[in-house]
Chains A and B, each alone.
Chain A
Amino acid sequence: MLRLPKTRVAKPTTVAQAVALLVEHGEVAMPIAGGTDLLPNMKHGLFEPEVLVALGGIKELQRFELQTDGTLILGAGVSLDRIAADERVQRTAPALAQAAGLVAGPQLRRMGTLGGNVMLDTRCQWYNQTHFWRQALGYCLKKDGTVCHVVAGGKKCVAAASNDTAPTLMTLQATLVFEGRSGRREVAIDDLWHTDGIHNKKLGTDEILVEVRVPPRATGHRGAYGKLRERGSIDYPMLGVAARLDVGRDGAVEGADLVLVALQARPVRVRRAAELLIGVPSSGDNFAEAVAAVAEAAYAQAHPMPNIPGDHEWRREMVPVYVARTLHAAATGTGPVHHV
């Protein structure tokens, strides 16, 4: 039995009220949406907020619109299940729908939100454990200790970004809208991240993610998401691959993007690898050759560490495999790439 630490729950009905509560209580308050990540972490003694500001009753966070210009507006409180099942998202931003549909298991996708997945805490096999377990180990850099168990002598936390939707939103060049004490601000999702596993987001404690805006996609937009995990039914990613291809009228690739997750503290873009696809026909032998070259380049850039479950050398060997499969899935409009 895992008990939650004592806390009080506040139930604001507007974003402004929620921000006011976070400002009022400062460091001892935390926002809670679906709770599927925060509550296990609290049960493990990783967070002990005195006040939880529950965002579930805020209607503004449920916005879900595909605007006429193609902009997709997704409230932070929309469940992952709704995003995965939505025909508009499947059609216009397939990688995002696929990634949302591969987060955890069905019950967790109904409870968990897009905002919660974007704002997910980093994960490490030495950190996501009960207090008893961590105490027996002597704690770690990320919480209560001074030693890193991943990198001998390491002084910087390397817990892994493990959010499936984040790399797809990076390939889609999404903007995040935050509200805090100084009003609203928009942040390109690429600019959200630190490379510090303890706090991998540039964010004030008074700020709430309100919505995610995905700008209009190119006419020939194609996307896919690939996920490597231990069990096909539930786990966090051991590797996530988000791919975007913009295919021109002549069938050649005009734009490409590739972002990997679950390697280090932030999602990693492998830009130079993706650029190898520019100008290449999006099918046939030339495409297959270019994809193989991209996969090799991604392998050279990816260096998984023993921070999350799964042998890290095997995870590295899987990088070119999943990159190639995900690019082929994007080109052919299939996906997700996933084992069951």
Chain B
Amino acid sequence: MASLLLNVNGDQLEVTAPDHWTLLEVLRYRLGLTGSKQGCDKGDCGACTVQIDGEPQLACLALATLCEGRAITTIEGLMPAHLRAGGKGPDPLQDAFDRCGALQCGFCQPGMLLSAKALLERSPDPSRDEIRHALAGNLCRCTGYTQIFQAVELAAAEAQGRAPTPPAWHPDGNPWMPACSKAPAKGESR
């Protein structure tokens, strides 16, 4: 049993864990951060994706003891970081996932968001191909990915201050509900 000093979502946390515990196990079973999901537990599914020093990596294949001194961001850290930066409500990317219905069961979503968030940070206006490649390590059994790609495109477009390109199938232009951080107009449902 070793004492570890981990930087999780901006907090310095001291936890004890044996050397053979993965970062995912420490996050879920020591720190109670169950947003990072335990799926295949062997690097296939991407449900455990967290950011380590800003890069999406797999918490199920990272030994916690080797993560000391590195900045770890989990899904629980996205909204607080957005609020600390002066934003309102959830992170705009989370909001876009919500508005696009980019999930069904939601199991892949924390990992998807952390992969997509890192993509938008290095490439603020990514092409559909870039999005596909950036999310290639995050498997989704429900959505067929289309709405996930649209959510990333929506968040990117809004961050650039332009209207998102509506999907070709939609007859009335922008099908998305307004952003969470904006007050709904009278009579508008959310």
Contacts and interface: CB of A to CB of B under 8 A. Distances in A.
A162 B178 CA distance: 48
Interface in A150-166: none
A131 to B, nearest CB: 13
A110 B56 contact: yes
Determine the main DSSP class of A at the interface with B: loop
B115 interface: yes
Interface in B37-66: 38, 41-44, 46, 49, 55-58, 61-63, 65-66
Contacts of B21: 4
A153 B134 CA distance: 45
A4 B22 contact: yes
Nearest to A57: B66
B42 A2 contact: yes
A7 B55 CA distance: 27
Contact of B61 (A6, A8, A56, A111): A111
A9 B66 contact: yes
Contacts of B46: 105, 107
A111 B41 contact: no
A108 B115 CA distance: 12
A90 to B, nearest CB: 16
A2 B41 contact: yes
Interface stretch (A36-44, A68-76, A297-305, A311-319): A36-44
Interface in A64-122: 104-108, 110-111
B56 A40 contact: no
B62 A43 contact: no
Interface of B: 18-22, 38, 41-44, 46, 49, 55-58, 61-63, 65-66, 115, 132-134, 136-137, 139
28 contacts: A1-B38, A4-B22, A7-B20, A35-B63, A36-B43, A39-B22, A39-B42, A39-B61, A39-B63, A40-B42, A43-B41, A52-B19, A52-B63, A105-B46, A106-B56, A106-B136, A107-B43, A107-B57, A107-B58, A107-B137, A108-B58, A110-B55, A111-B57, A111-B62, A233-B137, A233-B139, A234-B44, A234-B136
